[in-house]
Amino acid sequence: MPKFNHTDDRISEGESPSIHLPDTKQKAADPPVKKRRRTDGRPIKAKKKGTGLPNTLLEDRTIDELQNRASELQIDGRSDMDKQALINAIRTALR
């Protein structure tokens, strides 16, 4: 058994010393901000506001970018269009 200093009144005979280390656990971060959710519980994907680089081909842009460009050109029905339909509608509007 290890010897202890007799002046240390925190440890009595027969007790094993406990080592008190500072709390190394990280405090939990603030809980995340509630996101808007669909009725089925999945978060709603935020729409990007960009229209893509001006020198990028329409085929290389994302659907969100094409929909934003179609919005600028005031193309009706753009939310129901697939990527190729959006490309065709944008090209038609720019003629």
Mean pLDDT in residue range 41-69? 80
Global pTM reads 0.49
Q: What is the pLDDT of residues 14-36, one digit of tens each?
A: 555 556 566 555 556 665 655 55
Burial (0-12, 13-18, 19+ Cβ within 10 Å), 9:
exposed
Domain residue extents for the chain: 58-94
